[in-house]
Chains A and B, each alone.
Chain A
């Protein structure tokens, strides 16, 4: 299967700082990537759709100014958590697929802890 790589795998940051998470499709081009958030013992919740060359589309209730998404190329999407607070601590996972209606390939996830 295709490979999606996410970096970093874990990060600890201080309250009020910003953190950038990278999601790369290593062996295919992904015009669309998706960002999910998963709290402990909960399901994956879609945060936003990252579109190459255009603005991201956010799910209802997700603050676009807090979670900045940039899809600079066909293989890279970044999620920046701005002015992070302890309640932003979570597991963030990206995904991409060759085309819709087919298998989605997930990054390994990023464990964010805000202290």
Chain B
């Protein structure tokens, strides 16, 4: 099955600086890669996602890049703000040819702390 690794586990940045979180996946059949932000005790919220036919996607201060050959994808947050502090999870979902279709395999999470 799919295995997703995420690094770093914690990330401290100064307000205004950039934050980068990296994930690798094992199943080359995976083709959907969402990123979630989760605040303590709350549900995960989708912040951006990318599909395997796209190499990069950007939404204001957030961008995701995908390298299918190397099987890794990254989240980039620019101009970080204190409200960006949360736990971020990457995930991967298999395509319709696999038993993982529809199932999200999550990375271990990254605790991001943005200090003013």
Interface residues of A (CB under 8 A from B): 32, 34, 42-46, 49, 91, 93, 95, 97, 100-104, 106-109, 111
Contacts and interface: CB of A to CB of B under 8 A. Distances in A.
A90 B101 CA distance: 26
25 contacts: A32-B102, A34-B103, A34-B104, A42-B108, A43-B107, A43-B109, A44-B44, A44-B89, A44-B104, A49-B102, A93-B43, A97-B102, A100-B96, A100-B101, A101-B31, A101-B32, A101-B93, A101-B95, A103-B34, A103-B49, A104-B34, A104-B46, A104-B104, A109-B42, A111-B41
Q: How large is the interface on B (under 10, 10 to 19, 20 to 34, 35 or more residues)?
A: 20 to 34
Nearest to A57: B99
Interface of B: 31-32, 34, 41-46, 49, 51, 89, 93, 95-96, 101-109
B10 to A, nearest CB: 11
Given A34-B102, A109-B42, A109-B43, 6 more contacts: A43-B106, A100-B32, A100-B101, A101-B93, A101-B95, A107-B43
Nearest to B6: A43
B103 A49 contact: yes
Contact of B89 (A43, A102, A111): A43
Contacts of B31: 101
Contact of A108 (B42, B103, B105, B106): B42
